[in-house]
Amino acid sequence: MELKRVVVTGLGAITPVGSSIPELWENVLKGVSGAGPITHFDASKFKTRFACEVKDFDPLKYFDRKEARKLDTYAQYAIAAAKEALENCGADLDKIDKDEVGVIFAAGIGGIQTFEQEIGYYYSNLEQGPKFNPFFIPKMISDIAAGQISIMYGFRGPNYSTASACASSTNAIIDAFNNIRLGKANMILAGGAEAAITPGGVGGFNALTALSTRNDDPAGASRPFSKSRDGFVMGEGAGCLVLEELEHAIARGANILCEVVGGGMSADAYHLTATHPEGIGAILVMKRALKDAGLNPEDIDYINVHGTSTPVGDISESKAIKEVFGEQAYKLNISSTKSMTGHMLGAAGSVEAIISVLSVVNDIVPPTINFTPGDEDPDIDYNLNFTFNKAQKRIVNAALSNTFGFGGHNASVIVKKYSK
């Protein structure tokens, strides 16, 4: 069976550094940090009191008040990103076959805001007996964003959610890629959303000692590959990519941004939350993505790394890159855009894949911010080009995006310039 080619024709994003694709791209190139004091709840007694929150998001721009009340914030972000991606792709929804359009949308956690609110209400009203909002379950479950998007537009193709912690939305993109190239759909909206900056989300990650506690310097707290890094900064939002079968895209006159050429998946099989110190799973996943794409290490110009700003993770990923890419590791660019967006958990892979697409389209690599000379980690090889503090122009023919999740889940996707 001959596999079909898959291209990207639309992008949409809601992020801590921009609630549209143009705003996101402008700010990551400028090196803008999305971090600041938490406003979603009173975090004054928490170890970590800052995060990368989405700013000025107005659900009433997308839904009426009644509809908005039926949606957890994570699903609102997902629908908003999908709306922009569909507008961006230019498809006439009255002319395409909606039976052949799918939605695969990830969430690592899902409706945690709804869960906390409903359970809190239950325990504060125990004497009155159990009473729950009838939309409690539909608002909370992690597949509902995919379902809501399909309902809104009438898309009847493959429809589900992927959950692999912080690798979730990269898995969604890979699944969409595979469904299309196997002929199971003509177009799929793929991405992820998360809204877990809540007492439970922040408190839970604090209990794991996973979050930075640099409360006096939120904007400088996410500092991947710096010796003084002390944990990740929580982010939130959503990213959506429209993946499309090449001939279908050409037939409708679509603006083709780039081609998706490969995806890899692996497991560390090592630890509940920590990456393998030697990057065993990371090595496997990047090698598998390259093999799937039919590319060699020297074909990759840019890697958008997982790069969470955690003590062990940054070291193991840099080791893995050197192992997989050899001499090319010193010629390609590396950057962690989590230094600006924070770690968007289940949405991270989609937004980082979008940034990788934009790098291929525009031939520029966004920076890893917050590195200061003198803050070098002796366990990291600084002959690698981490694109510290300033965007760098270069030809980007192909880019690889890495995401690794709790549980040892690893996923990598490769995009490259489209050519006939």
Q: Give, to the nearest 10 degrees, the angle between helix 348-362 and helix 168-181.
A: 60
CB 371 within 8 A of CB 226: yes
Determine the average pLDDT of the residues in 359-377. 97
DSSP 218-244: GGGT--TT-TT--SB-BB-EEEEEEEE
Using CA atoms, how far apart are residues 155 and 321, in angstroms rounded to an integer? 39
Using CA atoms, how far apart are residues 383 and 88, in angstroms rounded to an integer? 38
pLDDT value at 63 more than 80: yes
Please report the pLDDT score of residue 122 as a whole number.
67
- Three-state DSSP class for residue 191: strand
pLDDT value at 134 more than 90: no
Using CA atoms, how far apart are residues 128 and 122, in angstroms rounded to an integer? 9
Determine the average pLDDT of the residues in 184-194. 98
Reference 172, options 246, 72, 240; nearest CA is 240
pLDDT value at 126 more than 70: no
Counting residues of the chain whose pLDDT is more than 70, the rounded percentage is 99
Using CA atoms, how far apart are residues 264 and 354, in angstroms rounded to an integer? 17
DSSP 119-147: HHHHHHTGGG-----TTHHHHHSTTHHHH
pLDDT tens string 292-329: 999 999 999 999 999 999 999 999 999 999 999 999 99
Please report the pLDDT score of residue 172 as a whole number.
98
CB 81 within 8 A of CB 45: no
pLDDT tens string 236-285: 999 999 999 999 999 999 999 999 999 999 999 998 888 888 899 999 99
Q: Which domains does the chain have, with CATH numbers?
A: 6-416 (3.40.47.10)
**pTM of the predicted model, to two decimals?**
0.97
Q: How high is the mean pLDDT of the chain?
A: 96
CB 367 within 8 A of CB 31: yes
- Which residues are annotated as catalytic? 166, 306, 343
Using CA atoms, how far apart are residues 371 and 387, in angstroms rounded to an integer? 10
